């Protein structure tokens, strides 16, 4: 018999127990997701993430002791292999920007459908970015506009190739293979792209490039690895 596929191990952090119970039921109802631990505040979330090393940590933003944003920064610094999905009721621009800059892999609103949340967890587990459609529209409309002076340094042909492949969801290694360059060289090109576009993540860089008309708007899932 074929070996059963391992379930995606999820840590759930929210300071409302009833909310956690509902989200847990939704996630585990998918069949391929397993909530291995729950936390009621940010400090507990960090301790449990360090102990269990889940595949994906689903975090609320507003939690006692440490916010979801603070926990995300800590995860990126000390547990980089753990994916972070923010699940929150807040869609205010400052929260969205802070979360993306902290290094979260996804941002989903609590108004999302169950299947959207489940797919977001799967996407984050695969190393992709998962943005709520409402958040994507806000980012496109408000956050990733060109600088006020309208002057953005153009990308080189190779930088454009790298960004185009990143927007299609390719990892640094996959981009390197396709372009015949090393992972380190890909990372260097991405650093130059971020600087030119004043971006702090692939998601931000792609969104800004889309707003400038440099790449098509129908770019799919983005990987941050």
For residue 148, give the CATH number of its domain. Answer: 1.10.10.10
99, 32: one domain: yes
97, 152: one domain: no
89, 125: one domain: yes
Which pLDDT belongs to residue 43? Answer: 96
Is the whole-model pTM more than 0.85?
no
Cβ neighbours for 172, distance < 8 A, ≥ 6 positions apart: 183, 186, 187, 190, 225
Average pLDDT over every residue of 59-87: 92
pLDDT level of residue 4 (50, 70, 90 thresholds): low
Evaluate whether 211 touches 146 at the Cβ level (below 8 Å).
yes
pLDDT tens digits, 145-185: 554 445 677 888 899 899 988 888 788 888 999 999 998 89
129, 186: one domain: no
Question: What CATH number does residue 117 fall under?
Answer: 3.40.50.2300
What mean pLDDT value characterizes the chain? 84
125, 200: one domain: no
Does 3 reside within a domain?
Answer: no
pLDDT level of residue 225 (50, 70, 90 thresholds): very low
Does 225 reside within a domain?
Answer: no
Question: Structure tokens of 182?
Answer: 């090393």
How far, in Å, CA of 129 to CA of 83, rounded? 10
Among 91, 115, 140, the domain boundary falls at 140
Which pLDDT belongs to residue 180? Answer: 93
113, 199: one domain: no
Domain count of the fold of the chain: 2
Average pLDDT over every residue of 50-62: 95
Q: For residue 31, give its domain range.
A: 8-140
97, 203: one domain: no
Helix (H) or strand (E) holding 77: helix 68-78
pLDDT level of residue 223 (50, 70, 90 thresholds): very low
Question: What DSSP letter does each residue of 110-174 carry, written as one string?
Answer: TTS-HHHHHHHHHHHHTTB-EE-HHHHHHIIIIISPPPTT---PPPPHHHHHHHHHHHTT--HHH
Among 140, 171, 194, the domain boundary falls at 140
Does 216 reside within a domain?
Answer: no
């Amino acid at each position: 018999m074929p070996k059963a596929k391992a379930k995606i191990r999820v840590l759930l952090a929210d300071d409302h127990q009833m909310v956690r119970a509902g989200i847990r039921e939704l996630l585990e109802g998918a069949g391929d997701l397993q909530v291995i631990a729950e936390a009621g505040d940010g400090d507990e979330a960090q301790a449990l993430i360090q102990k269990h090393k889940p595949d994906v940590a689903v975090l609320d933003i507003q939690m006692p002791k440490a916010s979801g944003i603070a926990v995300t920064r800590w995860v990126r610094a000390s547990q980089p292999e753990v994916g972070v999905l923010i699940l929150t009721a807040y869609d205010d621009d400052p929260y969205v920007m802070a979360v993306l800059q902290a290094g979260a892999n996804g941002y989903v609103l609590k108004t999302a459908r169950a299947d959207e949340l489940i797919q977001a967890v799967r996407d984050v587990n695969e190393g992709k970015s998962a943005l709520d459609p409402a958040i994507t529209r806000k980012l496109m409309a408000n956050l990733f506009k060109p600088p006020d002076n309208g002057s953005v340094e153009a990308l080189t042909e190779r930088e454009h190739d790298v960004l185009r492949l990143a927007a299609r969801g390719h990892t640094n290694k996959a981009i390197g293979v396709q372009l015949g360059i090393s992972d380190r060289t890909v990372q260097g090109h991405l650093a130059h792209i971020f600087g030119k576009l004043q971006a702090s993540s692939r998601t931000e860089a792609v969104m800004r490039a889309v707003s400038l008309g440099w790449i098509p708007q129908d770019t799919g899932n983005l990987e941050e690895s």
